[in-house]
Amino acid sequence: MKALRRKLLAWYTENRRDLPWRRTKDPYAIWISETMLQQTQVETVIPYYERFLERFPTVFALADADSDDLMQEWAGLGYYSRARNLHAAARAVAYEHGGVVPDDVAGLLTLKGVGRYTAGAIASIAFDRPAPIVDGNVMRVLARVLDLHQDVRSSAMQKRLWEEAGKLAQGERPGDLNQAIMELGATVCTPRSPECLLCPIREHCQGLANGDVEKLPVKSKAVRQKKVEAVCGYLTRRGTVLAARRPPDGLLGGLWELPGGDMEREETPEGCLERQVRERFDLGIKNAAGLGKVKHVFTHRVLTLHVFQAEVGAGRVRRADYDAHRWCTGAALAALPLSAVAAKALAMADPGNPAD
């Protein structure tokens, strides 16, 4: 274990990528980066991270942020529950902890949205606590080095991996050690065609010695993605467009969109739009015209979204299901915090006012 730590740290010192969150020990900035990096690639995160910290440079700035402003900065990054949880946790840190981010795993785990991995990352990187982390890269490296053939999604294997990561974290520079394992998995010990000849710990890799590297890690099959069809409408009345905000919880929570919803079995897209507008706003539509389809892949859903343009009849809005609504210009709608799929639909419906 000592030899592994020594070689990993030496390799990391010489080969680590220059990433913006590696230039700071500010626990708030590290917390933001680790939250954004969950299930999102480094290259995608960098510009979001830099813009986010420019807009919300301190935990107090984030705690006091308007939810729409926050979601605007997060729009397009996906997994929007991360942003909502981050906002709630920032308020707790600002007003219950005096603006001081907890410096140990136990304290960090009390914050909404902070799980075992994020707590370990913040504690080790920002505060030099010997706290382990286990993510996809760490699982792959450890499974290969130790030649472990159990399913990494099983509880027994998860327990083993956290134990092994915990052993590695004991010693000097635990934050750098944790980042070194992740870096190795991201750049050398990759899922396919790992560059074993460049690996600093190849002499210790039992999987390489036994010819098992390409077989590891063992993973059970992921849940099959569900195919879903839905509709949305660019609904106009007297020169304005109807925008709707989703409830704060659930898929795409807190984001604005063109009104609509999922289709029922054997329902036509136009019939679905009429039903959704009636049920959700107590309004009728006329002159509906199909504009095309948008396809978008979520973690467990493959969405086909039918986009329409239609006029809304007279009547007062009686809203259901949505959190808020407003009548606005196309430009104002494009400036609202929209999900990636809503931005695609708006670009199709109103090419003159595409969302950023």
Mean pLDDT of 157-169: 96
pLDDT surpasses 90 at 76? no
- Tokens 């389809």 map to which residue? 293
CA distance 240 to 318: 18
Q: Dump pLDDT digits (tens) for 296-309.
A: 988 788 999 999 99
Q: Dump pLDDT digits (tens) for 217-240.
A: 999 887 788 899 999 999 999 999
Contact criterion met (CB below 8 Å) for 294 and 348: yes
CA distance 204 to 190: 17
Contact criterion met (CB below 8 Å) for 174 and 130: yes
Global pTM reads 0.81
CA distance 277 to 273: 6
pLDDT at residue 299 in the model: 76
Contact criterion met (CB below 8 Å) for 245 and 324: yes
Q: Exposure of 60 by Cβ count < 10 A (0-12 exposed, 13-18 middle, 19+ buried)?
A: middle
pLDDT at residue 354 in the model: 62
Q: Exposure of 124 by Cβ count < 10 A (0-12 exposed, 13-18 middle, 19+ buried)?
A: buried
pLDDT at residue 39 in the model: 85
pLDDT surpasses 60 at 279? yes
One-letter amino acid identity for 103? D
Which one is catalytic: 14, 34, 50, 96? 34
pLDDT at residue 351 in the model: 75
3-state DSSP of the chain = CHHHHHHHHHHHHHHCCCCHHHHCCCHHHHHHHHHHCCCCCHHHHHHHHHHHHHHCCCHHHHHCCCHHHHHHHHCCCCCCHHHHHHHHHHHHHHHHCCCCCCCCHHHHCCCCCCCHHHHHHHHHHHHCCCCCCCCHHHHHHHHHHCCCCCECCCHHHHHHHHHHHHHHHCCCCHHHHHHHHHHHHHHCCCCCCCCHHHCCCHHHCHHHHCCCHHHCCECCCCCCCEEEEEEEEEEEECCEEEEEECCCCCCCCCCEECCEEECCCCCCHHHHHHHHHHHHHCCCEEEEEEEEEEEEECCCEEEEEEEEEEEECCCCCCCCCCCEEEEECHHHHHCCCECHHHHHHHHHHCCCCCCC
Average pLDDT of every residue of the chain: 93
pLDDT at residue 266 in the model: 87
pLDDT surpasses 70 at 353? no
pLDDT surpasses 60 at 24? yes
Q: Tell me whether residue 34 is one of the annotated catalytic residues.
A: yes
**To 5 degrees, how large is the angle CA 134–CA 135–CA 136?**
130
Mean pLDDT of 178-195: 96
Q: Dump pLDDT digits (tens) for 80-138.
A: 889 999 999 999 999 999 999 999 999 999 999 999 999 999 999 999 999 999 999 99
pLDDT at residue 222 in the model: 72
pLDDT at residue 315 in the model: 86
**Which range has the worst mean pLDDT, 17-21, 48-52, 194-198, 225-229?**
225-229
pLDDT surpasses 70 at 355? no
Return the bridge partners of 245, or none. 256, 324
pLDDT at residue 356 in the model: 54
